[in-house]
Chains A and B, each alone.
Chain A
Amino acid sequence: MWIQLLTVKQIEEAGVRKTYYPGDWVDIGKQTARQWIASKEARTLESDIALAATDLPAAVEDIGIVVTGDSEKSRQMLAGVDGKIPIQYGRAEALYPRTMIWDPEVNLRAELVPVGLQLLKTWEIAIPQWEYSTLANGIGTPEEQAATEKAIRDLRVPVYDTRLIFVRQCENVKRLLDTWLNDKETGFDSRLAFLKALYQVKPFILALPCTWINPNYGG
Chain B
Amino acid sequence: MADKGVVYIALGEAAVSEQQASLKTLRQYHPDWKVYTFGSEMRIGQKSDFIPTAGQKEILRSMSRGLKVDLYNLSPFDETLYLDADTRVRGSLQCGFDYLEAGCELVIAPSSQQGEDWLWHVSEEERNQTEAEIGYKPLQLQAGVMWFRKCVSIEKLFTAWREEWSRYKGEDQGALLRAMKRAPVKIWLLSHEYVETIIQHQFGACRK
Q: State the A residues within 8 Å of B (CB).
A: 112, 115, 118, 122-124, 129, 132, 135, 153-154, 156-158, 199, 202-209, 211-212, 217-219
Q: How far is the CA of A170 from the CA of B197 in the complex (A)?
A: 37
Asked if B184 and A135 sit within 8 Å, CB to CB, the answer is: no
Q: Establish whether residues A203 and B135, one from each chain, have CB atoms under 8 Å apart when the complex forms.
A: no
Inter-chain contact A153/B194, CB cutoff 8 Å: no
**Which 6 residue pairs across A and B have the least CB separation, nearest first?**
A219-B115, A219-B114, A156-B194, A204-B184, A115-B135, A202-B103
A156-B193, A157-B191 known; A132 vs B186 contact (CB < 8 Å): no
- What are 19 sample pairs from A and B whose C-beta atoms fall under 8 A apart? A118-B135, A122-B184, A129-B110, A132-B192, A135-B191, A135-B193, A135-B194, A154-B95, A156-B197, A158-B110, A199-B188, A202-B102, A204-B186, A205-B186, A206-B187, A209-B114, A211-B137, A219-B113, A219-B115
Contact of A205 among B117, B181, B187 (CB under 8 A): B187
Question: Which residues of B sit under 8 angstroms from A153, Cβ to Cβ?
Answer: 95, 98-99, 102
Report if B36 contacts A (CB, 8 A). Answer: no
Contacts of B185 in A (CB 8 A): 204
Please, what's the 1-or-0 string for B165-200, where 1 marks a CB less than 8 Å from any CB in chain A? 000000000000000111111111111111001000
| B contacts with A, residue count (CB < 8 A) | 35
Q: Do residues A124 and B189 form an inter-chain contact, with CB atoms below 8 A? A: no
Give chain A residues whose Cβ lies under 8 Å from the Cβ of B153: 204
Cα separation A122 to B182 with both chains bound (whole Å): 6
- Additional A-B contact list (10), CB under 8 Å, known A156-B190, A209-B138: A115-B136, A122-B182, A129-B139, A156-B191, A157-B188, A157-B190, A202-B103, A211-B137, A219-B114, A219-B116
Residues on B facing A (Cβ under 8 Å): 95, 98-99, 102-104, 110, 113-118, 135-139, 153, 180-194, 197
Interchain CA distance A212-B186 in the complex, whole Å: 21
Query: Does A208 contact B193, Cβ atoms closer than 8 Å?
Result: no
Q: Known contacts A132-B192, A153-B95, A153-B98: does B115 contact A206 (CB below 8 Å)? A: no
Please judge, given known A-B contacts A135-B191, A153-B98, A209-B137, whether A219 and B184 are in contact too, CB under 8 Å.
no
Q: Are B138 and A157 in contact (CB under 8 A)?
A: no
User: B183 contacts which chain A residues (CB < 8 A)?
Assistant: 122
Inter-chain contact B110/A132, CB cutoff 8 Å: yes
- Residues on A with beta carbons closer than 8 Å to the beta carbon of B137: 209, 211
Among candidates B114, B181, B190, B192, residue contacting A122 with C-beta atoms closer than 8 Å = B181
Residues of A close to B95: CB separation below 8 A? 153-154
A5 to B17, CA, bound (A): 54
Q: Tell me whether B184 and A124 are in contact (CB under 8 A).
A: yes
A219 to chain B, nearest CB (A): 2
A175 to chain B, nearest CB (A): 13
Complex contacts, B188 vs chain A, CB 8 Å: 157, 199, 202
Residue contact B190 to A207, C-beta cutoff 8 Å: no
Residues of A within 8 A of B110 (CB): 129, 132, 158, 207
Indicate if the CB atoms of B136 and A112 lie closer than 8 Å. Answer: yes
> How far is B180's CA from A100's CA once the two chains are assembled, in angstroms?
21
Contact partners of A124 in chain B: CB under 8 A: 184
A112–B192 Cα gap in the complex (Å)? 25
Shortest distance from the beta carbon of B53 to any chain A beta carbon, whole Å: 36
Given contacts A154-B95, A206-B180, whether A211 and B115 have CB atoms under 8 Å apart is yes
CA distance A207 to B118 in the complex (A): 15
